[in-house]
Amino acid sequence: MHPILIIVFLPLLAAIVTGLGNKDLGGGPAKLITTLCLFVSAALSWYEFIPYLTETAQTQVVPVLKWVASGSFAFDWTLRVDTLTAIMLVVVTSVSSLVHLYSWGYMDDEPDKPRFFAYLSLFTFMMLMLVTANNLVQMFFGWEGVGLASYLLIGFYLRKPSAGAAAIKAFVVNRVGDLGFMLGIFATYLVFGTVSIPDILAAVPGVAGSTIGFIGFRFDTMTVITLLLFIGAMGKSAQLGLHTWLPDAMEGPTPVSALIHAATMVTAGVFMCCRLSPMFAASETTMTVITFVGAATCFFAATVGCTQWDIKRVIAYSTCSQLGYMFFAIGVGAFGSAMFHLFTHAFFKALLFLCAGSVIHAMHHEQDMRYYGNLWKKIPITFWAMTFGTLAITGVGLFGVGFAGYYSKDSIIEAAYASGTGMGHFAYWMGIAAALMTSFYSWRLVFLTFFGKPRWAQSEHIQHALHDAHGHGDHGHGHDAHGHDDHAHGDHGDGTGGYQPHESPLVMTLPLILLSVGAIAAGFVFEHWFVSEGTGAFWKGGLVFNEHLIHAMHGVSGIIKYMPFIVMVIGFVIAWYGYIKNTSFPAKVAEQIGPVYTFVYRKWMFDELYNFLFVKGAFTFGKLFWKVLDIKIIDRFGPDGAAWVVAKGSTYAQKVQSGYLYSYALVMLLGLVGAISWVIAG
């Protein structure tokens, strides 16, 4: 059997076995089966990826089965593996396997583990289907599959209303983007006469410059198609306007957040644009739009991340901002830099989310950073892993040596400036501003969580946990069942409230250690293949690689090149001053810029705006249709009207049924006379 088939379908097999077995299978076997299958897939993915680094591997097309044959519309289900796919296979399976292992500890108290692990494996399979697609219909199958799996995982906690609402929100917002994606696929088939991705990309030069009719006007063909496809990418990858689902997705378990943000759903839009890069590169208008949207998203999300208190929401808005970097890299034609940042981002973003989960685990599910403090001594492995992740995302590095984000994010910023366009320079300055804020909110998170005085006593979650532990005697750690120990309540002057956090178990810390290696070394090790001059052959035609732009990037002047480092240091200093040196400073600033702070804290009021424009209107129309169309018209003249006719008819029929023999004889006689009269008349 071809290794690619094993890589792709082993997670599906694990999901089916675990899902159907469910509670009869048990939590232990469910964890073992799914995790083992994912580690096998990850090992085979790296085995398949290494030959591409030596540029000895060729594109592979592995047939699975015949799929559709309807006249001239025919395509098979085949798996395509080239450099671009091999990178995604490594990203998806590596992160997913570590998330599976991490979930052994994080979800240990969850009674419904088989369902959770089945959903995780299904999520992975759907993403693998997307990245190995050889045609647009197959890509759409994976595209919708990750949407379904995200809905199931975000809403995993069935008795948590906020989780259900977040799952619905993610599903609905993505349907908006998916409408654009579907229209883009339809338009592509209409123009190219095929859904085969290699055939479409080969035919792009012949279509470039032509026009197509759309909504009654003539437009550039490739602009119409690529803008529609990009709308789909905006939904999946949470770009400005269709981003609102991503922060609320935090309602799902933390391992799910790591998988969504690092390796699966949100990377789908970036991958799709890179996979179809010749189509996007053929439209200057689309590239300009992508550059603007990516730069605006990058800046917007960074501003919001600076004001949030929920540790997972800070990292969520960080993801949104980093995706903005990837998209404006695509917009300026630096597709290699976009994929490079996707690759490195997968490691340090998974690391940051899993570290956040470890902190939450240690703090009895408290997610508000205002109730943390001085945790670095209590959970040292988590602290160092979070520090490495922070060094990576902030792009710490100088003179060619640094952490992962230093190589990939800086290459994007340099590409934006080197593009030489007005929109490229706009993206550059937005990227610089976002880099400053990224450094600020990332170190703000570290300082609030791991340094300063402990503020645990103020947390209701921890107080409830202490009450349960001491009051019920289940986990009292030697104290009496009535909780008379004098550490059960109160501050004791140390701010701990008597609670002592503890490091996570090995199954949770081991993934942190492994991901830390990626956050430290992924940029340095792989930079040569992604964005160096003369390595366009690495992509083997699977990606538009602009050697001229790469050359221009290396020629960027000193101050422009070192600006990301400068603002990174500024962001660190501001965070240190505000959350270590002078802790009253942030509150004073927030008070002075009150309306601006409130606007940013409330996420630029996007939720309120959409609620006013769409949600309230939808409910109004729904109520109108319910009260008027459904009740007063359909019900009145339909089931209710029929019931009224039957009831009235029954009343009159009762009067005929008198029970007297002569009444029935009279009816029979009248009937007989009528029948004879009809025969004679006929």
Q: Following DSSP, what letter does each residue of 366-378 receive, concatenated?
A: --BGGG--S-TTT
Reported as a pLDDT band with limits 50, 70 and 90, residue 469 is: low
Tens-digit pLDDT profile for residues 113-124: 999 999 999 999
- Cα-Cα-Cα-Cα dihedral of 556, 559, 561, 566, to 10°? -170
Structure letter (DSSP) for residue 196:
B
114, 26 in Cβ contact below 8 A? yes
Residue 517's DSSP bridge partners are none
Collapse the DSSP code of 332 into the 3-class scheme (helix H, G, I; strand E, B; otherwise coil) and give the result. coil
Determine what percent of the chain is predicted with pLDDT higher than 70.
96
- Residue 631: how many other CB atoms lie within 10 Å: 12
Half-sphere exposure of 122 (CA within 13 A, CB side): 23
Nearest to 207 by CA among 219, 222, 224, 190: 222
Strand blocks (E) in 25-161: 60-70, 73-81
Predicted structure pTM score: 0.89
Reported as a pLDDT band with limits 50, 70 and 90, residue 194 is: very high
**Whole-number pLDDT of residue 669:** 87
Tens-digit pLDDT profile for residues 519-558: 999 999 999 889 888 777 788 777 888 889 998 998 888 8
Rounded Cα distance between 242 and 251, Å, is 18
Reported as a pLDDT band with limits 50, 70 and 90, residue 491 is: very low
Determine what percent of the chain is predicted with pLDDT higher than 90.
72
Q: b/e string for 641-667 if b means 16 or more Cβ within 10 A?
A: eeeeeeeeeeeeeeeeeeeeeeeeeee
**Whole-number pLDDT of residue 474:** 37
Collapse the DSSP code of 512 into the 3-class scheme (helix H, G, I; strand E, B; otherwise coil) and give the result. helix
In this prediction, residues 206-223 reach a mean pLDDT of 89
Name which of 145-159, 278-292, 317-331, 664-678 the model is least confident about.
Answer: 664-678
Rounded Cα distance between 341 and 274, Å, is 12
Rounded Cα distance between 432 and 325, Å, is 10
Where does residue 537 fall: left (phi above 0), alpha (psi -120 to 50 degrees), or beta otherwise?
A: alpha
Average pLDDT, the chain: 90
